[in-house]
Amino acid sequence: MSLQTECFIVWALGLPVFFQASAVAGFLVLGYLVYYRYFHSLAKYPGPPLASVTNLWKTYHLWNLHLPHTLVRLHEQYGDVVRVGPNDLSFRNPDAVNTIYKAGRQLKKTAFYDGFTTFNPNLFGTQDEEIHAIRRRQMAHAFSLQSIKEMEHLVDSHILKLRKNLDHFSDSNREFDLKDMIAFYVFDVLGELAFSRSFDSQDERSLALLPPVNDHIYLACLMGMTPEALPWIKKVLPFIPIPWLQRLFHARAQLRDLTAACVRQRIEAGNTDRKDLLSSLLVATDPETGSKLTELDINTEAFAMIVAGSHTTSGTLTLLFSHLLQNPEILNKVIQELDLNLSNETGQVISYKALEKDLPYTMACIYENFRINPVFTMPLPRKILAPGGLVIQGCQIPRKTTVFSLNHVVHHNPSVWGKDHDQFKPDRFLGPNSKQLQGYLSPFSTGHRMCIGKNMAMMNILKVLSTVLRNYKMEMVHPEEPVETLSVGISEKKGRLICRISRR
């Protein structure tokens, strides 16, 4: 050892303990930064430098409500594979979607989903594949197309209430917010189909009646973005006296109380001839013990019904009407197709059976709305468990890497959709490769963990769209304003959708 080195050691040991500890901590932090930035197994993948060393990068962009749009820009800058976290990769190519979400147990959900847990992990959030398989089997029949069709008359009763409100605005020649009217309708239908009760929000037309779903999901995603610290975060955050943070926790408590009240009321009603989505859980039994589900188990899944069944459908319908009303030529084509094919529908509400006819242009508009503004815009991360890693888009990705493919990013890949991917163009789904393009859409996710409520959502979308357009003439008050979205993990139209309406 040289004299200079010995002198340095003697000098360092003579420093106060605080400075010694600070020096050690500094070297450790420096070593961490250098390793993850330059020597980690994912260092070869491009991405923002800050993202390579901390997940707080993703947390910040989610916090400012623009994570999906930020990821689109990053992929435009860096290509199809982007490093967006110390151990996270984002993929843009549609082929990656099937690899990631249809690979079965080679990949599993990560601790990100623990941020959503309010009762116990539900069908959406559970990382236990056995529990997921059991619960999905128990709920599958209730959410089947046949079962949803059997409840169509209940949907119709609330579309009639929607029409009553629209008639009021037509007769009074008043401007109104279509976004609110759709939200009231969807929430009431959800209550009817899930719990055999209406929330009567269409009667009251008060925003205070709508569940604070956005705040719950915003909180869940913010916490889940740093999964390695989530247990600590969940213990500490509720006690931080920041007003907006306390609002999010209060919103989650409101949703929890609403769920518990709905379930308790439904249990007390007992077995009835009327079936609803909760019926399957009330009679379900544990395959091993034969015992019925506990009230906590039922609350767990009912909570997911309220969260997933309200905002996603209302957000999709609001954006669909926004794009149609902003494009009169496209709107007129949809109206002409509906008038031609539904001329025998003389009732006040269009039947779902009639909507199962071939309506290519109407469906093209729905597909294009799913593409340009998918509502479910949170990352759906998976951790690779396969011992040798997994090949995704020709890249050998190491075991324990977290991967995801955000639908908003895939849906705005210019190599698939063209340079006009930011424009609403339904005709792209009417060409010779329309089936292939439909296969690239994932508005309800894909694979064995895809959304169980797809049939209910599609019925609502088709019935509301067709009934409104067949019976009313509507226009946006400010058609010059661009259709923009904000994302808390699920997206919605930014601002209001003020319209005028008259009977046809």
Binding-site members for heme are: 451
Contacts of 248 (CB under 8 A, 6+ apart): 215, 216, 218, 219
Mean pLDDT, residues 133-161: 94
Instruction: State the Cα–Cα distance between residues 115 and 234, nearest whole angstrom.
Output: 8
DSSP-derived secondary structure for 285-347: B-TTT-PBPPHHHHHHHHHHHHHHHHHHHHHHHHHHHHHHHH-HHHHHHHHHHHHHHSTT--S
Q: Would you state the pLDDT for residue 17?
A: 60
- Pairing mode, if any, of strands 402-404 and 88-91? parallel
Q: Is residue 32 part of a domain?
A: no
Residues linked to residue 84 through DSSP beta bridges, in sequence order: none
pLDDT band at residue 346 under the 50/70/90 scheme: confident
Instruction: State the Cα–Cα distance between residues 185 and 203, nearest whole angstrom.
Output: 10
388 compared with 289, residue with greater pLDDT: 388
Is residue 57 scored above 60 in pLDDT?
yes
Q: Would you state the pLDDT for residue 292?
A: 86
Q: Is residue 35 part of a domain?
A: no
Contacts of 102 (CB under 8 A, 6+ apart): 446, 447, 448
239-256 pLDDT tens trace: 999 999 999 999 999 999
Q: Is residue 18 part of a domain?
A: no
Instruction: State the Cα–Cα distance between residues 298 and 276, nearest whole angstrom.
Output: 13
Instruction: State the Cα–Cα distance between residues 102 and 392, nearest whole angstrom.
Output: 12
Ramachandran category for residue 184: left, alpha or beta (phi over 0 → left; psi -120 to 50 → alpha): alpha
pLDDT band at residue 2 under the 50/70/90 scheme: low
| CA distance between the termini of the chain | 94
CB 85 within 8 A of CB 55: yes
Q: How many domains is the chain partitioned into structurally?
A: 1
Q: Is residue 118 part of a domain?
A: yes
Axis-axis angle for helices 56-63, 67-78 (nearest 10)? 130
Contacts of 457 (CB under 8 A, 6+ apart): 309, 312, 313, 316, 444, 451
Instruction: State the Cα–Cα distance between residues 227 and 221, nearest whole angstrom.
Output: 10
Instruction: State the Cα–Cα distance between residues 285 and 294, nearest whole angstrom.
Output: 10
Is residue 171 scored above 80 in pLDDT?
yes
Q: Is residue 10 part of a domain?
A: no
How large a percentage of the chain has pLDDT more than 90?
78
Tokens read off for 191: 């209550």
pLDDT band at residue 14 under the 50/70/90 scheme: low
Binding-site members are: 451
Contacts of 93 (CB under 8 A, 6+ apart): 80, 393, 405, 410, 413
CB 377 within 8 A of CB 67: yes
Q: Tell me, what CATH number does 448's domain have?
A: 1.10.630.10
Q: Is residue 388 part of a domain?
A: yes
25-39 pLDDT tens trace: 676 777 878 888 998
Tell me which residue range forms the domain holding 159: 40-503
Q: Is residue 29 part of a domain?
A: no
| Cα torsion angle, 299, 442, 219, 488, sign | negative
Q: Would you state the pLDDT for residue 124?
A: 92
Q: Would you state the pLDDT for residue 399?
A: 96
| Phi, psi (deg, nearest 5) at residue 11 | -65, -45
Tokens read off for 46: 């491009």
349-375 pLDDT tens trace: 999 999 988 899 999 999 999 999 999
pLDDT band at residue 87 under the 50/70/90 scheme: very high
Which of 136-140, 164-168, 204-208 is predicted least confidently? 136-140
Q: Is residue 441 part of a domain?
A: yes
Is residue 18 scored above 70 in pLDDT?
no
Instruction: State the Cα–Cα distance between residues 327 and 321, nearest whole angstrom.
Output: 10
| Cα torsion angle, 298, 209, 149, 440, sign | negative
Instruction: State the Cα–Cα distance between residues 320 and 163, nearest whole angstrom.
Output: 18
